[in-house]
Amino acid sequence: MEIRIAGQQDLTDLARLLWLHAAPDEQGKQSVESFAVDLAAWWTGHEDSHTAFVARVAEADCEAEAVGMAWLALVPRVPRPGTTNRRSADIQSVFVVSEQRGKRIGSALVQAASEHASRLGARRVTVNSSRRAVPIYERLGFASSRQLLEKQAE
């Protein structure tokens, strides 16, 4: 298994993974090919704030296939005296294809994104998880916080 920061050459694979990660009613709104075009345009406008990680697994003599992804959103924070480059990070859209689940690929993706956020100076890394994945994130060092609150948009 290889996990690395994704580049433009990975956009088609990322679009496929995001499309597979979507709910069936969302998939019906747009083909994966059309979505890849939209993702490429979105990526161009968000390269400074979002980093994608891709997991690839090679089978026998075949080219390594993209089987998972995680996205890291970096959020600039208001400066403080002596600290003008504050950042927070949010891990988003972690997904592993069903045939590869249970092999710690998702954990490795989250770990890579978390470490990258730390290297870039993020003081906090958050994730909005499904209930089923909470134990996985807790095993990776994430914990609930009374200080991090959420309000649903109206």
Residue ranges of domains in the chain: 2-139
Closest CA to 120 of 75, 59, 153, 68: 75
Assigned CATH class of 2-139: alpha beta
Residue-level pLDDT at 76? 92
93-151 per-position pLDDT tens digit: 999 999 999 999 999 999 999 999 999 989 899 999 989 999 999 999 999 988 888 88
| Sign of the four-CA dihedral 115, 22, 33, 95 | positive
Residue 57 has pLDDT above 90, yes or no: yes
154: confidence class by pLDDT, cuts 50, 70, 90? confident
Residue-level pLDDT at 22? 93
Instruction: Please compute the mean of the pLDDT values over residues 27-36 and round it to a whole number.
Output: 94
Residue 42 has pLDDT above 80, yes or no: yes
Q: State both tokens at 40.
A: 């490429």
Residue 61 has pLDDT above 80, yes or no: no
